[in-house]
Amino acid sequence: MRRLTTPMKAEGLTTLKIRYDYKSDVFHMEAMKQWDQDLDFSRYNKDFYVESILTDDVVYYNTKQVRELYRKYDLEDYLDEILELIREGKHFGIELYYNDKWDITYMSHQHSRKLGINNKLHATLAGGIRRHDKSEEEKDVIIDGLNLGRGMSFKNVAGRLNMGGCKQTVTMDELDLDNMEIMGFLGFCIDNCRTMTGPDMNFPTEMADVENENFSMQYTNGPKYSVLGETGKPTAYGVYVTLKQAVNFYEGTESLAGKTATLVGLGAVGWYMGGHLLDEVKKLYIADLSDARCKEFVEKHPGKDIEIIPLDNAYFQPCDILVPCAIGGIFSDETIPKLNCKYIWGSANNQLKASSQEEEERLAKKLQERGIVFQTEWYHNTAGVICGYHEYVYGKNATYENLIRTIDETMPKATYDNLKQAKELGITPCENAYRIAGEVIYGDKTLEDLK
CB 14 within 8 A of CB 33: yes
CB 313 within 8 A of CB 285: no
Q: Please count the CA atoms within 13 angstroms of the CA of 76 that sit on its side-chain side.
A: 10
Strands 343-344, 321-324: pairing kind:
parallel
Dist. CA 93–CA 79, nearest whole Å: 13
**CA-closest candidate to residue 342, choices 360, 324, 319:** 319
Dist. CA 435–CA 369, nearest whole Å: 20
Catalytic residue among 167, 244, 259, 342: 167
Dist. CA 359–CA 374, nearest whole Å: 15
Distances (CA, A) of 346 to 105, 150, 253, 256, 446: 33, 20, 19, 15, 27
Dist. CA 150–CA 94, nearest whole Å: 12
Strands 104-112, 164-171: pairing kind:
antiparallel
Paired with 48 in beta bridges are: 44
Please calculate the CA angle 193-195-200 and round it to the nearest 5 degrees.
115
3-state secondary structure of 163: coil
The DSSP secondary-structure symbol of 56 reads: S
H/E run at residue 321: strand 321-324
DSSP assignment of 380-429 equals: TS-HHHHHHHHHHHHGGG--HHHHHHHHHHHHHHHHHHHHHHHHHHTS-H
Dist. CA 270–CA 297, nearest whole Å: 11
Please calculate the CA angle 222-224-227 and round it to the nearest 5 degrees.
80
For residue 362, count other CB atoms closer than 10 A to its CB: 16
Is 396 a known active-site residue? no
**CA-closest candidate to residue 171, choices 5, 288, 328, 310:** 5
| Residues belonging to the active site | 167
